[in-house]
Amino acid sequence: MTPPEAPMDGNNAARGNSPSAVSSRPVVLTQRADFQRASRAAHVAKPGFVLQMRKRRDDETCPPERVRVGFTCSKKVGNAVARNRAKRRLREIARLALTQRGQPGHDYVLIGRRGTTADLPFTQLQADFDAALDILHGVRK
């Protein structure tokens, strides 16, 4: 069996209308100061998590068109296994929603809650996240 032929022009990726994954992926917050600034901003509490959102100042180092997101779970959530599971679920709902619905120049922080972040059905977490974004973005239904 012979391997498939490579394209002659050197293009391996299909071209489409979607942006590249690198440019649309939110930047992850790692600095404690960023989490502290977000804690003083607007927030919405849902059964499975708390979502905080703040608009960055113009003088901050991150490019203004990027969306940044952070995740945190305290020891109240459980042992390391429970905290990691909760953060994995939070990362996934943020990945699915913030690439389309995140506002450029904003930071989002998701905080896991004891007993519910890891146990709620994933579809409910997604619906709660969409509702929390609507509240923070000022969308009225």
138: pLDDT confidence band, cut at 50, 70 and 90?
Answer: confident
Residue among 90, 141, 94 nearest 118 (CA):
90
Q: What is the pLDDT of residue 141?
A: 56
Q: Domain segments of the chain: what residues?
A: 26-137
| Rounded Cα gap, residues 123 and 141, in angstroms | 20
Fold of 26-137: Ribosomal Protein S5; domain 2 (3.30.230)
Using the predicted structure, report yes or no on whether residue 5 has a pLDDT greater than 80: no
Contact between 44 and 51 under an 8 Å Cβ cutoff? The reply is yes
Global pTM exceeds 0.75: yes
**Model pLDDT for residues 65-115, shown as the tens digit of each residue:** 889 999 999 999 999 999 999 999 999 999 999 988 989 989 999 999 998
The residue with tokens 């429970």 is 82
Using the predicted structure, report yes or no on whether residue 139 has a pLDDT greater than 60: yes
Using the predicted structure, report yes or no on whether residue 14 has a pLDDT greater than 60: no
